[in-house]
Amino acid sequence: MTRIVVTGAAGFIGSNIIKGLNARGLTDIIAVDDLTQGDKFRNIADLQIADYVDADVFYDNYAEGAYGQVEAIFHEGACSDTMESNGKYMMQNNFATSLQLYHACQKRGARLLYASSAATYGGSDTFREEPAFEAPLNVYGYSKLLFDQRMRRECGLQFERAFAGKTMQVVGFRYFNVYGPREQHKGRMASVAFHQFNQFRSEGRVKLFDEYGGYAAGAQMRDFVFIDDVVAVNLWFFDHPGISGIFNLGTGRAQPFNDVASSVVNSLRELDNLPALSLPELVSQGLLEYIPFPDALRGKYQCYTQADLTALRAVGCNHQFADVQTGVASYVKSRVQTGQS
């Protein structure tokens, strides 16, 4: 039986990867996480795993040969709080721990598929997997970039091209703005769609940032990617063990925050048998409101992201990504069906 490890297993992306593996009949899964935030258990309560190991002991134990033969490790465990200012904690958690895991994987013969981030690009206006375009705006982005850089050194990676000279697969995914089910534990770091759903349910309106960075109100653009697509691409690389490298994982299609808000509101209206409204109608009826851009985010905020999918397509991954309207509608429907508010 194929044994798989998922770190950050009770987190947003980790739990969805387990769900995707379960859908294939794969259940010999070691879930690794820190359940100090106990309510995260809900993300894995309906999933099939073989064992649970606390993150504090897993990495050392695995390096010493525990847990038997592991085929692959999906490494989603990290501090993903872009506002975290404790650089020592961030570098230990995101860089040093990941490096220890990489060396253990190479020694133990396991493939490593790990979470990087579009935050590595920071203030850049080009989102291609090359050093020239990497300019993180915070220590979170830097912690992810440093590990990517180390993988380039360790594995002989030349820009976005596949690693050379290594027998074990290593893949880094630069996640863009991921949204979807099982993110409720993330608090303020949950997706825009999550917060807008809750806002509309509680206040009857959605709030967006006003003009900033040369963009009109709500017109700042991000590459919003649905969690089902993120899982599909992870599993595509799992199915192709000979392909390694660092790859963007976004839709390749930037859409404004206004699109997300409109999709959330109109999806909820559709479920209530109400007609869809245009953006001007949403604003005029007070269902969409613009608020001043917060000072705390000035200079640290990406107003535009759009994944360049050239490298992903070049290795043969032709997965077709959902647009915001499709993905958000599915997300809203699932939240309503599960009784989330």
Q: Give yes or no: 19 in active site.
A: no
Picking from 117, 311, 341, the residue whose alpha carbon sits closest to that of residue 223 is 117
Give the active site residue among 52, 166, 186, 333: 186
* Tokens of residue 104, six digits: 């253990």
Q: Is 195 annotated as a binding residue?
A: yes
Q: Is 130 annotated as a binding residue?
A: no
Q: How many helices (H) and strands (E) are present in the chain, helices listed first?
A: 11, 13
Q: Is 182 annotated as a binding residue?
A: no
Q: What are phi and psi of 237, to 5 degrees?
A: -70, -35
Q: Give yes or no: 186 in active site.
A: yes
Q: Is 176 annotated as a binding residue?
A: no
Q: Is 222 annotated as a binding residue?
A: yes
Q: Is 93 annotated as a binding residue?
A: yes
Q: Is 77 annotated as a binding residue?
A: yes
Reported for 147-154, long-range contacts at CB under 8 A and 24+ positions apart, including other chains, are 147/94, 147/95, 147/98, 147/99, 147/114, 147/116, 147/172, 148/116, 148/120, 148/172, 148/174, 148/246, 150/95, 150/99, 150/102, 151/102, 151/246, 152/246, 154/102
Q: Is 40 annotated as a binding residue?
A: yes
Q: Is 154 annotated as a binding residue?
A: no
Q: Is 60 annotated as a binding residue?
A: no
Q: Is 13 annotated as a binding residue?
A: yes
Cβ-count burial of 277 within 10 angstroms (0-12 exposed, 13-18 middle, 19+ buried)? middle
Give the active site residue among 114, 140, 142, 331: 140
Q: Is 19 annotated as a binding residue?
A: no
Picking from 219, 218, 247, the residue whose alpha carbon sits closest to that of residue 234 is 247
Q: Is 253 annotated as a binding residue?
A: no
**Euclidean distance between CA atoms 338 and 290, whole angstroms:** 30
* Known binding-site positions for substrate: 177, 188, 195, 209-212, 222, 301
* Known binding-site positions: 12-13, 33-34, 40, 76-80, 93, 144, 177-178, 186, 188, 195, 209-212, 222, 301
Q: Which residues are catalytic?
A: 140, 186
* Known binding-site positions for NADP(+): 12-13, 33-34, 40, 76-80, 93, 144, 178, 186
